[in-house]
Chain A
Amino acid sequence: MAGRTDENIPTYEVANVNTKKIHVGSFGHLWRQNLSSCELSLAEVSGVDLEDEELATELDCTADIATEIKSLCSVDALKSNEDGEEADPEIIPEDSCLVTLSIRNKIIERRKEMAVDRAFRQEVFLHEMESCGLGARPEDLSDMVDEGELVLTLEVFHPVVYQKSNGNKPNVAIQVLGTQKLTELRDAIKCVSDLQIGGEFSSNPDLAPENICKDLFKSAFFYFEGVFYNDMRYPECRDLSSTIIGWSESHDRGYGKFQSAKMEDFTFNDLNIKIGFPYLYCHQGDCEHIVTIVDIRLIHHEDCLDRRLYPLYVRKHWFCTRKCNVCNIYVAKWVTNQDSLAPDDPCFFCDVCFKMLHYDTEGNKLGDFLAYVYVDHGTFN
């Protein structure tokens, strides 16, 4: 057992907010040291109950006592009430003395008054996201996650808040494995600014180029604890952090010395981080996402065990899509400015309505306007 002083045991720096700095790999190592192979095992639980003799030797008592304990502590005894029958889980017993249940009773009564009593779309969506991949096992054993591997849960926030929110900023939660590289997370983070297409296409909308910003500008960086991890996988990648490091060093700004490293050389196990501390992911030059590592834990046999499914989305924010201003059915694909035909500036159109309104049958432009490709935030819903 490592001493209390081990700096890789996470403890609070600010209570309930973030921990002190730890090295992710050593943290995982500490857990693995303390646990037996049985608990790290990813095999499915089979036969939790021991035989009487086994139990007797384990507890160092006679077989009679072992049998007695086993029957006393059986799970079935917990579930049934005095009459020995299991109650219906849908019904709250009338004579209950639990505070929680009396509160729930009130909620149920309120629910009954509502017109519809069913799970709402948001709720279903959230639950599906949460349970997606749970218990998944790969067919090919080489894709199996190793025993005792770490699972990190990260929350990635969207850069701008488009919708009024009650303190909740739209974010996604992603699970990654400790042995995965930072670049794998970078590729998994979806952001509309990656899909933008630059330029004005009012004269020939069909010729709008296919290549999106993601293919044109491949630079990005993560910032964790004083180190910029730059994505340098491609020759056209630039070191985005050099400007910031230069700025910080040009005057003594009190930020200490920043370092830069290559994103593709680091796995999550190599990082030094504080759990709960806000860090940064920056791409497309200025699209900045706050990234927080909210949780680190050992993998459990009921988790998703297919390595290929990670990074795994466990929660997504559901954005309202912007609809076409004409048909109000389809999601907007075009946005126009200074449009002589439109009531609004800017005005949004779907592909069909846009072409029907702004071009004649031969494809000639009608009226004055500037047209841009619009990428909706709900694209990733």
Chain B
Amino acid sequence: MNFPGIKEDCETFLGLFQATDSVRYEEFLTIWKQMKFNTIFHGGMRNLESNRFSRDLFSVVSVFFLPPYTFQIRVGAMYLLYGLYNTQLCQPKQKIRIALKDWADIEQFHQELVTAQHLDAVYIYRQLRRMRAFYFTGMPITLNFKSQKSIIPEDGNEAFLDVKDKISDLITTETLEEIMNIQEHYQKTKCHFSADKSQPDRSLSLIREDFTDNLQSLVEEFQLWKQEKKAPRTKTDDEQEGTSQESEASERARHLAQIKSKTYNAVTQAVKSRRHRQVQMVSAPTEVETYLPLSKYQKEKLKKAERKAELDAIKKAVTPLPKKKPVNMAAIHEEDSSSSSEGEDCIRTVFTPAVAAIWWGITFLDQGCNLRGCRGCDRTRAQEV
């Protein structure tokens, strides 16, 4: 791909959409406006570049429109396609490629939308088709001849993936009923064969009789557990989860930070010979509060910053990061050169090679070096002669 950053932006967007826990178009529109996603096409791209950019963008987003991503992400991706298709600056508009192999999934997705009465999503989908925004193609990308090296393996975002539930695929209510029926039938047949018609013969008891009941209770338990896990996250849940994740992830980091802050907090006393360079504590600058009247420009800037902070906060909620605390740093207190009585001492305090060279130069010039080969000395010697 020639345009880095597309994937990151789309993933951030879908991440925010996922955090809303909704498939409403309003939510999408709020995020769209917050991120100013339509500006993704801005910046004076020329025709060819902007065509390519749109095509790349659609190919990235349309991946999220298809399984194995969750229903919510797919709806989000569809809204995103709708938004991007309509705001692109290309003339004529670039189209979204849909492959034949994915068509069945898309049709099914549409059916799901209709049955779930997500009217806004259904409207958007039909609108896209009415606009004829799709190319009906053989493959989602053009299969140009490429060297093996340049083919980058697709790595989907795992957070958006729809987790396949193999257990519920295997044991549905129907199959469970079927198994129970068979078991019943089996039991009856066994009774029929054995001498005692009410009870099967002992030699025929090859499986546990309570096998079906066990299975049923297990499946029920599993379903219950899953429901609990899947329960819609409320805000407080979110926060708790965030902190727990954070504590897990950043335990080591925090530990390190603790050690660091300890070392920086404690200040060792300098030895007697270096007492003029005593280390002092300087705490990290905290926010300076100003009560000056703000100009219009400043106000706007502040507002913008606030908005950005808000957005960042949402972003952080999606991917909790360990917060950085202001660390008290030990710093060497710069001495005023005027306070020092002796010039030499002052120079040595900031003993850099350049300074040293200058200092040596001054002393030589003052004293006269009387060295053979030194141009200055030779000249004075010649004058003396």
A residues within 8 Å of B by Cβ? 1, 4, 9-12, 16-19, 22, 27, 30-31, 34-35, 38-39, 45, 48, 55, 58-59, 61, 65, 69-70, 72-73, 75, 77-79, 81-82, 87-105, 108, 119, 123, 126-127, 130-131, 134-135, 153, 155, 157, 167, 169, 275-276, 278, 290, 292, 294-298, 300-302
B residues less than 8 Å from A16 (CB atoms): 141, 143, 146, 151
Nearest-neighbour CB distance to chain B for A155, whole angstroms, equals 7
Query: Is B373 engaged at the interface, CB distance under 8 Å to the other chain?
Result: no
Contact of A95 among B44, B83, B107, B304 (CB under 8 A): B304
Residues of B within 8 A of A77 (CB): 29
Q: Are A90 and B44 CB-contacts (below 8 A) given A97-B308, A102-B5, A300-B95?
A: yes
Say which residue of B8, B83, B86, B122 sits within 8 Å of A99 (CB atoms). Answer: B8
B-side interface residues, number (CB < 8 Å): 74
Interchain CA distance A90-B135 in the complex, whole Å: 29
B window 107-148: CB within 8 A of A? 107, 119-120, 122-124, 126-127, 129-132, 134-139, 141-147
The answer for the CA separation of A118 and B89 in the assembled complex, in Å, is 19
- Of B33-41, B64-72, B161-169, B262-270, the one contacting chain A is B33-41
* A73 CB contact (under 8 Å) in B38, B123, B137, B147: B123
A-B complex: 10 closest residue pairs judged by Cβ atoms = A276-B143, A99-B5, A100-B5, A297-B137, A127-B48, A296-B138, A298-B136, A295-B142, A104-B43, A75-B86
Whether A27 contacts B138 by the Cβ 8 Å rule is yes
Q: Within 8 Å of chain A (Cβ to Cβ): is B228? A: no
In the assembled complex, the Cα of A38 lies from the Cα of B6 at a distance in Å of: 33
**Can you name 16 extra interface pairs (CB under 8 A) apart from A82-B33, A294-B144, A300-B135?**
A1-B104, A9-B100, A45-B130, A48-B130, A73-B82, A79-B86, A90-B43, A93-B36, A97-B311, A99-B9, A104-B43, A119-B46, A127-B46, A153-B142, A290-B145, A301-B132
Q: How far is the CB of A56 from chain B (nearest CB, A)?
A: 10
B3, B5, B101, B123: residue with the most chain A Cβ atoms closer than 10 Å: B123
The reply to whether B127 and A48 form a contact with Cβ atoms under 8 Å apart is yes
Asked if B307 is at the interface of the complex by the 8 Å CB criterion, the answer is yes
* A101 B40 Cβ-Cβ under 8 A: yes
Whether B43 and A92, one on each chain, are in contact in the complex, defined by CB atoms closer than 8 angstroms, is yes
Instruction: Using A95-B307, A103-B5, A155-B144 as known contacts, say yes or no to A276 and B39 having CB atoms under 8 A apart.
Output: no
Q: For residue B145, which residues in chain A have a CB less than 8 angstroms away from its CB? A: 155, 157, 169, 276, 278, 290, 292, 294
A89 to B46 CA separation, bound complex (whole angstroms):
11
List the A side residues contacting B89 at CB < 8 Å: 89
A127 → chain B, closest Cβ, in Å? 4
| Closest B residue by C-beta to A273 | B138
Contact in complex: B304, A78 (CB < 8 Å) = no
B51 at the interface (CB under 8 A from A): yes
Q: Mark B4-44, 1 if CB is under 8 A from A, else 0.
A: 11101100100000000000011001001101111111111
Assess whether B47 is interfacial by the CB under 8 Å rule: yes
Tell me how far the C-beta of A31 lies from the nearest C-beta in chain B, rounded to whole angstroms. 5
| Complex partner residue of B42 from A19, A91, A119, A298, CB under 8 angstroms | A91
B219 CB within 8 Å of chain A: no
Name the B residues within 8 Å of A119 (CB-CB).
46-48
Contact A72 B33 (CB under 8 A): no
Q: What A residues does B151 contact at CB under 8 A?
A: 16-17
Q: A11–B101 contact, CB under 8 A?
A: yes
CB distance from B67 to the nearest CB of A (A): 13
Q: Could you say which residues of chain A place their CB within 8 Å of the CB of B100?
A: 9-10, 27, 30-31, 34
Contact at B120–A72, with CB atoms within 8 Å?
A: yes
A35 near B4 with CB under 8 A, answer no
A contact patch SS: mixed
With A18-B143, A278-B145 in contact, do A81 and B33 touch (Cβ < 8 Å)? yes
Residues of B contacting A82 with CB < 8 Å? Answer: 33
Which residues on the B side are within 8 Å of A102 (C-beta)?
Answer: 5
Q: Is B232 an interface residue (CB 8 A)?
A: no
Assess whether B42 is in contact with A295, with CB atoms less than 8 Å apart. Answer: no
Contact between chains at A130 and B138 (CB < 8 Å): no
Task: State the majority secondary structure of interface residues on B.
Answer: helix
B36 lies within 8 A of A81 (CB): yes
> Looking at the complex, which one of A89, A123, A135, A167 makes contact with B92 (CB distance below 8 Å)?
A135
- Contact partner of B41 (CB less than 8 A), chosen from A11, A89, A123, A290, is A89
Q: How far is the CA of A123 from the CA of B101 in the complex (A)?
A: 34
A127 CB contacts on chain B under 8 angstroms:
46-48, 51
Does B367 reach chain A (CB closer than 8 Å)? no
Contacts of A72 in B (CB 8 A): 25-26, 29, 120
* A302-B135 contact, Cβ under 8 Å, with A59-B122, A100-B40, A102-B5: no
A67 to B324, CA, bound (A): 49
B308 contacts A98, C-beta separation under 8 Å: no
| Cβ 8 A contact of A98, one of B5, B29, B48, B144 | B5
25 contacts between A and B (CB under 8 A): A12-B139, A16-B146, A17-B151, A22-B138, A34-B100, A35-B136, A59-B119, A61-B119, A77-B29, A87-B39, A87-B42, A94-B304, A98-B9, A98-B35, A99-B9, A102-B5, A103-B3, A103-B5, A104-B43, A123-B46, A276-B143, A292-B143, A296-B138, A297-B138, A300-B135
Shortest CB-to-CB span from B379 to chain A, Å, is 50
* Residue B63 interfacial (CB < 8 Å): no
Interfacial chain B residues near A78, Cβ < 8 Å: 29, 32, 38, 83, 86-87
Q: With A10-B138, A39-B129 known to touch, is A294 a contact of B143 (CB < 8 Å)?
A: yes
A187–B32 Cα gap in the complex (Å)?
Answer: 50
Shortest B51–chain A CB gap in Å is 7
Q: Which residues of B contact A79 (CB under 8 A)?
A: 38, 86-87
Given contacts A27-B100, A58-B126, A127-B48, contact A69 B119 (CB under 8 A): yes
Q: Chain A nearest CB: distance from B36 CB in Å?
A: 6
- Does B127 contact A73, Cβ atoms closer than 8 Å? yes
A residues less than 8 Å from B312 (CB atoms) = 97
Interchain CB contact under 8 A, B39 and A10: no
Interface residue? B99 (CB, 8 A): yes
Tell me if A95 and B99 are in contact (CB < 8 A): no
B43 touches A296 (CB 8 A): no
Complex CA distance for A99 and B143, rounded to whole angstroms: 28
Q: What CA separation (Å) do A79 and B142 show in the bound complex? A: 30
**Contact (Cβ within 8 A) B123 A55:** yes
Whether A130 touches B5, Cβ cut-off 8 Å, given contacts A39-B129, A95-B308, is no
Separation of A93 and B312 alpha carbons in the complex (Å): 17
How far in angstroms is the closest Cβ of chain B from A103? 5
Given contacts A98-B37, A155-B144, A300-B132, contact A295 B119 (CB under 8 A): no
Q: Give bound CA distance, A93 to B43, whole Å.
A: 9
Q: Is the CB of B103 closer than 8 A to any CB of chain A?
A: yes
Are A70 and B123 closer than 8 Å at their CB atoms?
A: yes
Residue numbers in A under 8 Å from B136 (CB-CB): 31, 35, 39, 297-298
User: A92–B89 Cα gap in the complex (Å)?
Assistant: 14
- Best-surrounded residue of B44, B82, B86, B150 (most CB of chain A within 10 A): B44
